[in-house]
Every structure is written in structure tokens, then in C-alpha cells.
Amino acid sequence: MNGAEQNMTASAIRVTDLTVAYGEKTVLWDIDIDIPKGTMVGIIGPNGAGKTTLIKSIQGLVPRVAGVISIYGKPYEKQRKEVSYVPQRGSVDWDFPTSVVDTVKMGSYGDLGWIRRPGRKEHERALGALEKVGMLEFAQRQISQLSGGQQQRVFLARALVQSASVYLLDEPFQGVDATTEKAIVRILKELVAGGKTVLAVHHDLNTVSEYYERVVIMNVGLVDSGKVNEVFNSENLIKAYGGKASFFPERKSVARAV
Amino acid sequence: MLEFATELFSDYTARTIISGAASLGIVSGVVGSYAVLRKQSLVGDVMSHAALPGIVLAFIAMGVKEQIPIFVGAVLSAILAVFLINLVTANSRIKTDSAMGMALSVFFGLGLVLLTYAQKMPDANQAGLDKFLFGQAEALVEKDVLIIAIVGLASLLTVALFWKEFKLLCFDPDFGGTMGFSMKTLDLLVTAVIVSAIVIGLQTVGVVLMSSMLIAPAVAARQWTGNMGSMVILAAFIATVSGVTGVALSAGLENVPTGPAVIVCVSLIAFFSVLFSPNGFFTLRFKDARSRREIKKDYVLKALHDLALEHDDPGYAHSRRLIALGSGKRFNVERSLLKLQEAGYVENMGQDNWRLTASGIREAAKLSPHEKSE
């Protein structure tokens, strides 16, 4: 194995020169990120920083002006099956007439391909994923009857059914209860311990150091990315959030030391 | 009426018309569910209205009222309308709803102008062209029904084949896209299926009301079920019943066009469903009132219990006025007391004095802390 190949296997997601624009507005500007395999990475930045767009453009959901996305060294289009996606909870209509288990089963549609219907095996897989997120007893429930936290667990279960090795999550902790947040973090950490890679859009700066090993700090352009203890500092946060930054990691650690 | 109905079903022409209406019902119920689930109800309305200029132009071009060219004309002008809407919204600050409103009125207006012009043409063939406005099922002949059946079958087959993909498209298109399904292709397929349903309904229901034939059955069905499969089947059933009933009504009553008759039937079902289904308006009100009564009963039970405890005797009797004061809420406690008496929790000791029974004491003890029952 030569050096270049080694490098390829070490990186799960590599984003090079990514630029995205909606109309005249530049949403992402020349982003370069390298997400090593088997790490848990948070994406932070102010509202409108393009965090969701980044997650979406990695998966080709929004057209890019420029840039290359590779998953384990190969273009995303060839690696779809390696990536599972947990969209923002609010992006779908939870009044849709379907049950919890049928929603989770959607995660298996990719493996099934066109036309083939899910069967016994897919049902079992969906139930297994529901058990993992602690929602097995809700399998036959209407999704309209779920609380915010339960909705998020269902979405996570659907992603688990995809049995991929790279997980992209868009604000998985948005509006969920504390128990759900802990449960989701635990599952994600288990995934990472098993060699999977997790990339999540994150809002709460207070929990960044607790949840993630690495962090991507951005605001349209990339501010910095790397290990939390190296790049998650007030200098970078002020760069990303401007004068409005109200969280200073250093002060917090001082407070802790006292 | 009954006699008329038997006559209708035994007659060959009537059978043709009825089977046409039934096939149309099945297709529009199924296909309409997708329009509703994708929140595109208005698109159906725009497309059906926008079909009119195409219909009339096809007639003017061909000089005869021939089925196939009219279908083609209808499809082309409906699609042109949707295309223009997309073009306008993508390239201006005009929002989708305004663009749709404009497209609908412009196309429909143009259609009416062309229709007036066509009717003044010296040819006698244009007779009945105006029936496309409100539909006239009596004009259906075997060939029309055959076309309805073929186009309908193709639509149903498409839905059956791409059931899981369409579900993804309706519920979470982004997620579907990440799994490699082309949402653009699926969107086109669904649109094609909706346009087909509209086109085969033009002669029976007419351009003005066809969208209701798509939307109302699906809306009605959604009220009764939380399962997409059941919803689609129920919508097909509702649309079929309405279609057949409407056709019979319009044939039985002189000079009533089929479209309005069908739509009155389907709207009645939709209206009833919205009011009385398990999650309907009245059902929810009823459940609300019942739970309020339960809470009041609990208040009274608790008040009796608390009062009695002050006497160190859980079975101590109190007057109704004292109980009302003790329950701390302003409502008539008599009804609650009577209900509790029925349940065997309290007994009337005479002169409007009430006390808890043994089972009432047990029940009241369960209510502390009271907040739990709210």
C-alpha cells in the first residue's frame, strides 16, 4: 500500500473546493474539509452559515457551482450505499398517513432498488432498528402521534436501517427532550466505536466538547476544522459568529478549574 | 327512482355510461390521493382548467369532435400551463400561488373565448363542445369508455409498480434522493398520472369541476384512516360511488350536467367525513366535553374526600353547597354528583347531603395528588 492509498482509507468524507450558490447568493464558499474515518464530528456556525446546505450538497441534493465530494476516496454517486442521512425533523409532514415501522422501513428502499417491495427481512430490520432507539413498542403507531423526541428517534432508526458507514445528521438534537438527546448521543458514540463516521450539524455550543472529537466551524466559508481541543476556541467562534459570540470555551474551562 | 335505477342498469347505453363513471372514479380516487399527499391540490385545479383551450383548439384544427386529438390538446395545454408556472416562479419574484392563479384564469379565459368562437363556426359538428365545461356523461359511447379504461389502467399500474417510490416522493423526497431514486423522474410520473386522470374525466365531469373529483375523495378518505394504502383504496371507493350516483342523478333529473351532480355527491361525503370521522370536528368536540365531565367528577370526588378527612371520617356526609365550595371550581356539582352516584362512589343521605361510599373512598384516594388526572 502506498502513501496516497493509505491517506484515502483514512478519510471518510473529503470535501474539496466546494462552492454552492442559490441564485445570486453564495451559501458555501470554497470549503475544504477532511473527515477522518471513525470520528464523531460536529458542524457549528451561526444561522444561515450554510450548515444544512453543506450536509445536503455532500449528498448531491443541491447543485454545486464547484467542488468535489468523495467518500472513502471515491465520488459520492458511487458510494451512496455507504452514507445514511437523518434530515431535519421539521423537513417532513408528520401528519403523513403512515406508521412508525413503515417509516423506518424506508431506510431499506435504497438496498431494494426500484420497484421491489420490502418484505419480511426488511420488516425485521426495521423492528431491530426501532429496538435500538427504544421505540419498539411504538412500531404500529401513527407517526402523527409522536412527540418531537420520538420523531427524531424514528428518523435515526430509519438511518440505522440503511446500514451505512457514514452518518450525516442535520440538527439531531433540535427540540428533543433530554432523555432522547442522551439516547441519540449514546447510539452515535456506539456507531463511532464500531468504526463508523458521524457528521452532525450542531447548535448548542455548550455540549460541543462533550459530544464531539472534532468540529467544523463555518460561516459560508470554512473558519477552521480539526480536533475540538485545538480549534474550538473563542478566536474561531468570534470569526464565525462575529461580535454576537456569547460562548467562550476558555472561560468555561477556567470556571471548571476553579 | 328505484324503478329508474333498475332501468338504468339494464340498459346497454346506461351500462356503458355507468362503467365509464366507475372507472373514472377508481382512477381519480387513487391518483387524487397523491395530489393531496403532495399538497398539490391546486395544481390539479390549474391543469384541468388549463385543458380547455387545448380541447377547443384541437377541435378547431380537426374540424370534428374526435376523442384522441382532444385528449392530446388537453394534455398539451395543461402541461404548458404547469411549465409556464415553473418558468414564472423560477425567473421572477412572483410566488407559486399567484402564478397558479394567473395561469388558471388566463388559460380558462382563453379557452372560453375560443369556445365562443368555435360555436359560431358554420359547421354543425361543434354541438356539444360546451359540454366539456361541466361534463355530460350521457354523451359517453363505448369507445370513450374504452379509452378511460385503458388510460386508467395504465395509471393504476404505474401507481402499483412505483408504490414505494411514490411514497418516498410524497413523504421525504430529499431522503429518497440520497438513496439514488431520481425524484425528478418520479415527479414527472406522478404528474403524468394526474394529468391522465384529469383528461379522462373531462367528458364526464368537465374542466371546471374535475379537480374536486381528484381532491374531495382523497380528503374524505384521509379522515378515516392513517394508512396510505387504505386511504388510496377508500378514496377510489368514495369517488366511484359518487361518480355512479352523480351520473344516475344527472340522467334522472332533466338538464343537470353530470359534473355538478357528481361533485355534490362527493362533497357531501367529504363534508360528512370532516365532521364525523374519528378525528372529525364533532368527534373531537364530543371527546373534549367527555373529558371535561370526567375532570369535574374527579374534582367533586376529591372535594368530598378532603372535606371528610377534616372530620377524620372518610364517610362523613356534606351538603351540596359545601361540596361546591370545596371543589373550588365554579360549576354545577349536581350533575357530577349524580354521575358519581350512578358509578356507586357516593350516596345521597337525604336533604342534599352526600357522602363517599367505600369504593368512592378508594377511588378518591387514587386521585391524590389530583394533578395526575388532568
pLDDT digit string, tens, across residues B206-217: 999 999 999 999
pLDDT digit string, tens, across residues A179-207: 999 999 999 999 999 999 999 999 999 99
Bond before B369 cis per omega within 30 degrees = yes
pLDDT digit string, tens, across residues B38-86: 998 899 999 999 999 999 999 888 877 778 888 999 999 999 999 999 9
Could you give the count of Cα atoms lying within 13 Å of B16 in the half-sphere of its Cβ?
13
For residues A246 and A235, what is the distance between their CA atoms, to the nearest angstrom? 12
| Record: contact A98-B165, CB cut-off 8 A | no
B227: which chain A residues are within 8 Å (Cβ-Cβ)?
97-99
Which 3 state secondary structure label does DSSP give A239? Answer: helix
* pLDDT at B316 (0 to 100): 76
For residues B229 and A144, what is the distance between their CA atoms, to the nearest angstrom? 16
Report whether pLDDT(A2) > 50: no
Q: Is B237 on the interface with A (CB under 8 A)?
A: no
CATH 3.40.50.12280 assigned to B283-373: no
Residue A10 · residue A23 · CB < 8 Å? no
* pLDDT at B349 (0 to 100): 80
Residue of A nearest to B231 (CA): A97
A 10 A CB-CB count for B70 gives: 24
User: Which residue of B161, B164, B178 is in closest CB contact with A80?
Assistant: B178
SS3 per-residue string spanning A72-134: CCEEHHHCHHHEEEECCHHHCCCCCCCEHHHHHHHHHHHHHCCCCCCCHHHHHHHHHHHHHCC
B181-217 core/surface letters (b: 16 or more CB in 10 A; e: else): bebeebeebbbebbbbbbbbbbbbbbbbbbbbbbbbb
Question: Residues with Cβ < 8 Å from B300, sequence gap 6 or more?
Answer: B323, B327, B333, B336, B337, B340
For residues A126 and B366, what is the distance between their CA atoms, to the nearest angstrom? 39
Report whether pLDDT(A253) > 60: no
C-alpha cell at A69: 465530494
Residue A170: band (very low, low, confident or very high) from pLDDT cuts 50, 70, 90: very high
Report whether pLDDT(B157) > 50: yes
The more confidently predicted of residues A5 and B156 is B156
* pLDDT at B328 (0 to 100): 65
Q: Is B228 on the interface with A (CB under 8 A)?
A: yes
Provide the terminal-to-terminal Cα distance of chain B, rounded to the nearest Å.
54
The listed range with the strongest mean pLDDT (A19-28, B170-179, B350-359) is B170-179
In this predicted complex, what is the ipTM?
0.91
For residues A190 and A38, what is the distance between their CA atoms, to the nearest angstrom? 11
The secondary structure element, H or E, covering residue A221 is: strand A221-227
B231: which chain A residues are within 8 Å (Cβ-Cβ)?
97
* pLDDT at B62 (0 to 100): 83
- For the segment B94-101, the average pLDDT, to the nearest whole number, is 93
The more confidently predicted of residues A167 and B251 is A167
C-alpha cell at A117: 417491495
pLDDT digit string, tens, across residues A68-82: 999 999 999 999 999
For testing the chain B interface, which of A24, A52, A57, A102 should be mutated: the one with the most B CBs within 10 Å?
A102
Question: Residues with Cβ < 8 Å from A6, sequence gap 6 or more?
Answer: none
A140-144, B18-22, B116-120, B245-249: segment of lowest average pLDDT: B116-120
The more confidently predicted of residues B257 and B9 is B257
| Record: contact B162-A56, CB cut-off 8 A | no
Q: What's chain B's average pLDDT?
A: 87
Q: CA separation (Å) from A34 to A49, A69, A201, B146, B163?
A: 19, 10, 16, 61, 39
C-alpha cell at B349: 343521605
* pLDDT at A199 (0 to 100): 97
Q: Is B172 on the interface with A (CB under 8 A)?
A: yes
The pTM of this model reads: 0.86
Which 3 state secondary structure label does DSSP give B66? Answer: coil
Superfamily grouping for domain A3-257: P-loop containing nucleotide triphosphate hydrolases (3.40.50.300)
Residue B37 — φ and ψ, nearest 5°? -65, -30
| Record: contact A112-B164, CB cut-off 8 A | yes
For residues A170 and B155, what is the distance between their CA atoms, to the nearest angstrom? 36
Residue B253 — φ and ψ, nearest 5°? -95, 130
Shortest Cα distance, chain A CAs vs residue B33, angstroms: 11
Write out the DSSP string of B198-267.
HHHHTTTT-TTTHHHHHHHHHHHHHHH-S-HHHHHHHHHHHHHHHHHHHHHHHHHSTT--HHHHHHHHHH
The secondary structure element, H or E, covering residue A192 is: helix A178-193
Residue A133 — φ and ψ, nearest 5°? -95, 10
Positive or negative, the Cα torsion across B90, B94, B95, B100?
negative
For residues B137 and B212, what is the distance between their CA atoms, to the nearest angstrom? 17
Q: Is B163 on the interface with A (CB under 8 A)?
A: yes
Q: Is B302 on the interface with A (CB under 8 A)?
A: no
User: Which residue of B165, B168, B222 is in closest CB contact with A97?
Assistant: B222
Report whether pLDDT(A143) > 50: yes
Question: Residues with Cβ < 8 Å from A15, sequence gap 6 or more?
Answer: A31, A32, A33, A34, A54, A58, A67, A68, A69
Residue B33: band (very low, low, confident or very high) from pLDDT cuts 50, 70, 90: very high
Report whether pLDDT(B180) > 90: yes
* pLDDT at B235 (0 to 100): 98
| Record: contact B226-A83, CB cut-off 8 A | no
For residues B174 and A147, what is the distance between their CA atoms, to the nearest angstrom? 22
B161: which chain A residues are within 8 Å (Cβ-Cβ)?
115
The more confidently predicted of residues A98 and B291 is A98
* pLDDT at B203 (0 to 100): 86
Q: Is A59 on the interface with B (CB under 8 A)?
A: yes
* pLDDT at A5 (0 to 100): 43
For residues B373 and B365, what is the distance between their CA atoms, to the nearest angstrom? 12
Q: Is B225 on the interface with A (CB under 8 A)?
A: yes
For residues A168 and A49, what is the distance between their CA atoms, to the nearest angstrom? 17
Q: Is A42 on the interface with B (CB under 8 A)?
A: no
Bridge partners of A83? A166
For residues B248 and B259, what is the distance between their CA atoms, to the nearest angstrom? 12
* pLDDT at B324 (0 to 100): 74
For residues A24 and A12, what is the distance between their CA atoms, to the nearest angstrom? 32
- For the segment B24-35, the average pLDDT, to the nearest whole number, is 96
Q: Where are the domains positioned within chain A?
A: 3-257
Report whether pLDDT(A121) > 50: yes
Residue of B nearest to A159 (CA): B175
Residue B131: band (very low, low, confident or very high) from pLDDT cuts 50, 70, 90: confident
* pLDDT at B124 (0 to 100): 52
* pLDDT at A34 (0 to 100): 95
For testing the chain B interface, which of A85, A89, A160 should be mutated: the one with the most B CBs within 10 Å?
A85
Q: Where are the domains positioned within chain B?
A: 13-270, 283-373
CATH 1.10.3470.10 assigned to B13-270: yes
B179: which chain A residues are within 8 Å (Cβ-Cβ)?
80, 109-110, 162
| Record: contact B181-A85, CB cut-off 8 A | no
Q: Is B226 on the interface with A (CB under 8 A)?
A: yes
Report whether pLDDT(B198) > 90: yes
* pLDDT at B268 (0 to 100): 96
For residues A243 and A238, what is the distance between their CA atoms, to the nearest angstrom? 6
Report whether pLDDT(B145) > 60: yes
Report whether pLDDT(B4) > 70: no
- For the segment B297-317, the average pLDDT, to the nearest whole number, is 78
Give residue B272's identity as a one-letter amino acid code.
F
| Record: contact B179-A93, CB cut-off 8 A | no
pLDDT digit string, tens, across residues B223-234: 999 999 999 999
A237-251, B97-111, B151-165: segment of lowest average pLDDT: A237-251
- For the segment A153-175, the average pLDDT, to the nearest whole number, is 95
Shortest Cα distance, chain B CAs vs residue A46, angstroms: 23
Positive or negative, the Cα torsion across A200, A205, A206, A209?
positive
* pLDDT at B318 (0 to 100): 76
Report whether pLDDT(B29) > 70: yes
A72-81, A237-246, B28-37: segment of lowest average pLDDT: A237-246
A235-255 core/surface letters (b: 16 or more CB in 10 A; e: else): ebbeebbeeebeeebeeeeee
SS3 per-residue string spanning A24-63: CEEEEEEEEEEEECCCEEEEECCCCCCHHHHHHHHCCCCC
A56: which chain B residues are within 8 Å (Cβ-Cβ)?
174
For residues B53 and B106, what is the distance between their CA atoms, to the nearest angstrom? 10
* Range list of H helices, chain B: 2-10, 12-37, 41-62, 67-91, 96-119, 131-134, 142-161, 163-171, 173-178, 183-201, 210-224, 228-252, 258-276, 281-310, 320-326, 333-342, 358-366
